[in-house]
Amino acid sequence: MSDITIYYWPIRFRGNFLKYILEEAGHKYATVSTYPEIKKALDDAKDGYPVFAVPLLKVGSFRCSQMPAAVLHLAKMFHMEPSDGNDKTLALMMLLNCNDILDSITMNGGHYMMWTPEKWKTFQDGRLAKWLGVLDTALGKNPKNAKAEKIYFFGVKPTYVDFGVLAILDGLVDEFGLVEYVGKFPLLSRFFKEMSARPSVQKLWSVQKPKDRSKWAPWCGGQIQKSIETSIAEPKKL
């Protein structure tokens, strides 16, 4: 029986930020994805610190929510954060950037409005392109990447930042088919191909994204995913 449990909906999205770390560490974990069980865990005031929403991480008797907090907790446990002090701060900044990008792509979970083709084009050509430019440029700032066989955001091995950016690109490229669009950012495109090939990632994806595409776990799911899919012009599905 695992000492770690992830409570999250049956979609990839923020839950994969945590799952990628655990898969890379080779640490077994349990998942809870049904509404009654999730609601019970969130509402149980006696079960550790109060939380509001998923993803909810439980490690033994400790629990926390908010994706960045949960990611940092696991990253410290499994030594997947940069060693340099300044890089630790920049890594946290990048993780929060990832959270902002998720909110931008999904219009804050679709709470206020849905995408239209016109709105999505403006977003894709403007704000999203700027965000991807930030990620692409950040990869170029790692001096270790100059002659490296594989590139990362910090140092010569993956940190939680790499898995966070992977979680975003998984949606843009594999789910929504924006292959050529992401290809305009050469380092980011190379990074996605390399990270996608990692055995730990492939192991998780074999469950979440089997050969039969109709059985894929949604990326963000719900009406907001449908509005993205219908708003993107001529996506190229893999």
In a domain, 236, yes or no: no
If one counts the domains in the chain, the total is 2
Q: What is the mean pLDDT of residues 165-174?
A: 98
For residues 155 and 211, membership in a common domain is answered with yes
> In which domain, by residue range, is 40 found?
4-77
For residues 54 and 93, membership in a common domain is answered with no
CATH number for the domain that contains residue 69: 3.40.30.10
For residues 141 and 171, membership in a common domain is answered with yes
CA 126-131-134 angle, to 5 degrees, is: 125
Q: Are 39 and 54 a contacting pair, CB within 8 Å?
A: no
In a domain, 125, yes or no: yes
Rounded CA gap, 6 and 57, in Å?
Answer: 5
For residues 90 and 200, membership in a common domain is answered with yes
Asked if pLDDT for residue 45 goes beyond 90, the answer is no
Q: Which of 77, 105, 123 is the last residue of a domain?
A: 77
pLDDT digits (tens, 9 = 90+) for 195-216: 999 999 999 999 999 999 999 9
Q: Which of 59, 77, 95 is the last residue of a domain?
A: 77
Rounded CA gap, 170 and 106, in Å?
Answer: 14
pLDDT digits (tens, 9 = 90+) for 64-117: 999 999 999 999 999 999 999 999 999 999 999 999 999 999 998 766 789 999
CATH number for the domain that contains residue 190: 1.20.1050.10
In a domain, 19, yes or no: yes
